[in-house]
Amino acid sequence: MSESKTDVLILGAGVIGLSCAWYLLGRGRRVTVLDRGRVGGGASHGNCGTLTPSHAAPLAMPGMIGEALRMMWRKDAPFHVAPRVDLELLGWFLRFARRCNWRDFQAVNAAKAKILTHSRGLIGDLVAAQNLSCDFAANGTLYVFREQQALDDFGWHLDSLRAVGIPVEERSAAEMLALEPGLRDDIVGGVFHPGDAQLRPDRYVAELARLVRAAGGEIVEDCAVEDFSTAGAKVDAVATSRGRYRADEVVFALGAWSPAVAKRLDLRIPLQPGKGYSITYERPARAPRIPLVLKEDSVCVTAWADGYRLGSTMEFAGYDTSLNRLRLDALRRGAARYLHEPEGPRVLEEWYGWRPMTWDDLPILGRSGRWDNLTLATGHGMLGVSMSLASGQLVAETVGGAATTLDAAPYSPQRFHL
């Protein structure tokens, strides 16, 4: 078996691993990225592609546990926990439950707002500077409501976004219909988030890979990380299906697959796969111009020049690889409650992906306390595309021993003793 040596080895060629690679190359490092499949073949492939500082609020909030328990009995609910005996999942939920209080909510809301807003700016700048072909559009997002009670109850959420500097604009039903004539007349109103944006995620990831290669980075596909050898407090080599790789520094960006691989380094990463689904269609004639979040049904609708996607749902079902028809149908039914033309003429792809969910809903970014040359870049949950470039920048600064542009403390692996 062969052996290769580089400055920095990045494990995982999803949107996070590639963002780290781009910024490390920018700091003059030689970089090799390994992936057991194809570039961007994990959660980074079929997600909704929205860039959303407006999603700063953490999933853990007061009242969430009651809501989750109610939804557990509905198999097509947007949030579902498949009932089964799994001690790691139970531990994850107990910690999550403890976070459902206002103090933790506010701290995470502020930390997510910072990384989301910074990343949103970096992505817009990179798309423009490098002329990335990924259907980027800085056109905001529109949250749509069908029930007055749900819209009224959303008021506190808007206050929490304003409190961390995220602009929100309330819209009447008439204004919503003027903005998006494809919406049904029985919607009651909504909220416009002017700071949000959208892109086509598979193309964005392909463009990041192009930039990485053009800057001299190497990306090795079909190369599964299997084990590690260590020397003192350092990761000395990574054993893969394509031989051994050695590097001065290792960046761990394996998304929802992180926990199993990290166990080989005695690290217990507290992640659960949060399964989501999407259906991609040919673009319907009345596709929305602005990405929509259909609030009561939790369906996200994104349209591009040559495509249209319904996506979302959050299912805690372990590493289950089935395409659950109930959940795909729930996306279709949800969209039909809000849109005149909820589906495109032809289905191009039905897809699921595993979001890497931490119980505090913050990513894990920074040096491991256990291994001197290991940096973690995982746990981006529902917002990995949105947080991608700020994460890559922070990791590259950390590996380079530089001061970080963002305060790195809220994302530190030390909060999980990693």
The site for ligand FAD (CB under 6 A) is made up of 11-17, 34-37, 41-44, 47-50, 224-225, 253-257, 261, 276-278, 311-312, 353, 355-356, 378, 380-386
Q: What angle do CA 194, 359, 150 make, to 5 degrees?
A: 45
Q: Which is nearer to ligand FAD, 334 or 356 (CB)?
A: 356
What is the closest distance, in whole angstroms, from the C-beta atom of residue 103 to ligand FAD in the complex? 26
What is the closest distance, in whole angstroms, from the C-beta atom of residue 417 to ligand FAD in the complex? 21
Task: List C-alpha distances in Å: 35 to 21, 148, 221, 252, 368.
Answer: 13, 47, 5, 11, 21
Amino acid at the residue 91: G
Report whether 237 contacts 246 (CB < 8 A): yes
What is the closest distance, in whole angstroms, from the C-beta atom of residue 223 to ligand FAD in the complex? 6
Q: Which is nearer to ligand FAD, 93 or 351 (CB)?
A: 351
Count Cβ atoms below 10 Å from residue 135 Cβ, excluding itself.
Answer: 19
Residues contacting residue 231 through CB under 8 Å, at least 6 positions apart: none
What is the closest distance, in whole angstroms, from the C-beta atom of residue 178 to ligand FAD in the complex? 25
Report whether 56 contacts 161 (CB < 8 A): yes
Q: Which is nearer to ligand FAD, 221 or 248 (CB)?
A: 221
Strand partners, 190: 144, 171
What is the closest distance, in whole angstroms, from the C-beta atom of residue 406 to ligand FAD in the complex? 17
Q: Which is nearer to ligand FAD, 352 or 371 (CB)?
A: 352
Report whether 384 contacts 43 (CB < 8 A): yes
What is the closest distance, in whole angstroms, from the C-beta atom of residue 225 to ligand FAD in the complex? 4
Q: Which is nearer to ligand FAD, 96 or 277 (CB)?
A: 277
> How many Cα atoms occupy the beta-carbon half-sphere of 130 within 13 Å?
20
Q: Which is nearer to ligand FAD, 6 or 47 (CB)?
A: 47
Q: Which is nearer to ligand FAD, 17 or 410 (CB)?
A: 17
Q: Which residues of 253-267 are buried (b: 16+ CB within 10 A; e: fewer)?
A: bbbbbbbebbeebeb
Strand partners, 271: 358
What is the closest distance, in whole angstroms, from the C-beta atom of residue 159 to ligand FAD in the complex? 23
